[in-house]
Amino acid sequence: MISSLDQMVEKVHSMKKRHRIAVAWAQDQNTVSALARAVNDGFAEALMIGDNGAISEECRKLGVDPSVFKLLQSPDETSASKEAVSLAARGDADVVMKGLVGTDKFLKAVMDKEHGLMAPGGVMSYVCAVQLPAYHKLLFITDTAVIPFPDLEQKIAMAQYAIDMANRFGVEKPKVALIGASEKVSKHFSNSTDYAVMCKMAERGQIKNCIMDGPLDIFLACDPKSISIKGVDTPVAGDADVLVFPSLEACNPFYKGLMLFAGGELAGLIRGTTRPVVVMSRSESEKSKYYCIALSCLMA
């Protein structure tokens, strides 16, 4: 079982494979530096799509040898995004990554019905593996970035993607906590009723490979002491691997709070696509960016 992000990187190393990463509009300092490290570490090969002059200039600034990258000239961010996506769709790249292009334009190319990368029935959402000094293992959380108010079907997909990721990390039957403000079911909290439905689906094998419970608050999900204090009988038992949040507005501040105040690091990925798609926020640490790339290689 992989229980830290550094172990994840080791795992990717041990796969002895260079994953081909197509980067859309690659002339971005953060992107160049994180990729240079991944390439130097031997698990990535970067196809940098963009303005070759600008990419070389960024390399020069960072003291990176541009020849470690494969450079592909592209006139603008939209064509660069399309090119990156089509490389992956054709099987000429294993991972697609956003460079300096706006997230909207980039994801539009990913979601293109004909030439894009959406899996049949795929629900685009974002899963993060979060590492925290205060927790004994990695936490897989969703959705930090894509779906504002997931409906039942979207929540089911989100949960399944997070479970699949945890499986990939060697967590065989992840404990999934469906997060709410309380553990009670109430028709006034539509998320709580969705959660009850999901738990039954997990019981019936309609959501696979997990132990699921919810609604649970964060304490019941992650703190065994709270279980005994509150007396809630839950199989997650304060030992959650996966946290599914009711909304982006709940999940996004949760992860940002952890990064800012609790010394967290993360690796995150877009899910619902046929190939891993890396979209990193500019505010993420250098380390987290590197972890995102490693994660995409693990999931490729």
Partner 1 sequence: MLRKLEDLKPIVINEPVKKLVLAAAQDQHSLSAVLRAAMDKIIEPILIGDKEAIQNIATTNGFDITGLRIIHEPQTDMAVEMSVKMVSSKQADVLMKGKIGTSQLLKCVLNKEWGLRTGHLLSHFALFEVDTYHKLIAVTDVAMNIAPNLQDKIAIVNNSVDCLHKLGIPIPKVAVLGAVEMVNENMEATLDAALLSKMNQRDQIRGCIIDGPLAFDNAVSLESSQHKGIRSEVAGDTDLLLMPDIEVGNVLYKSLVFFAKAKVASVILGAQAPIVLTSRSDSEQAKYDSILLAAAASKK
Binding residues vs partner 1 (CB under 8 A): 152-153, 183-185, 187, 193, 195-197, 199-201, 203-206, 232-233
143: its two tokens? 């959705």
To partner 1, the closest distance from the beta carbon of 54 in angstroms equals 49
User: 166-197: buried (b, 16+ CB within 10 Å) or exposed (e) per residue?
Assistant: bbbbebeebbbbbbbeebeeeeebebbebbee
Collect all residues with Cβ–Cβ distance below 8 Å to 114 and sequence separation of at least 6.
Answer: none
- Among 88, 144, 107, smallest CA distance to 257 is for 144
Q: Which is nearer to partner 1, 132 or 196 (CB)?
A: 196
Q: Which is nearer to partner 1, 183 or 241 (CB)?
A: 183
To partner 1, the closest distance from the beta carbon of 158 in angstroms equals 16
Q: Which is nearer to partner 1, 62 or 181 (CB)?
A: 181
- Rounded CA gap, 27 and 18, in Å? 22
Q: Which is nearer to partner 1, 135 or 189 (CB)?
A: 189
Place of tokens 């992989």: 2
115: its two tokens? 């030439």
Q: Identify residue 24 by its one-letter amino acid code.
A: A
In angstroms, the Cα distances linking 49 to 75, 173, 293 are 9, 39, 16
Q: Which is nearer to partner 1, 45 or 183 (CB)?
A: 183
Q: Which is nearer to partner 1, 5 or 216 (CB)?
A: 216
- Rounded CA gap, 151 and 89, in Å? 28
To partner 1, the closest distance from the beta carbon of 243 in angstroms equals 18
Residue 287, class by beta-carbon neighbours within 10 Å (0-12 exposed, 13-18 middle, 19+ buried)? Answer: middle
Q: Which helix (H) or strand (E) holds 102?
A: none
- Among 247, 253, 233, smallest CA distance to 183 is for 233
> Omega of the bond prior to 66 within 30 degrees of 0, cis?
no
To partner 1, the closest distance from the beta carbon of 146 in angstroms equals 21
Q: Which is nearer to partner 1, 103 or 186 (CB)?
A: 186
To partner 1, the closest distance from the beta carbon of 70 in angstroms equals 46
Q: Which is nearer to partner 1, 133 or 205 (CB)?
A: 205
Q: Which helix (H) or strand (E) holds 179?
A: strand 175-179
Q: Identify residue 34 by its one-letter amino acid code.
A: A
To partner 1, the closest distance from the beta carbon of 246 in angstroms equals 15
To partner 1, the closest distance from the beta carbon of 161 in angstroms equals 19
To partner 1, the closest distance from the beta carbon of 201 in angstroms equals 5
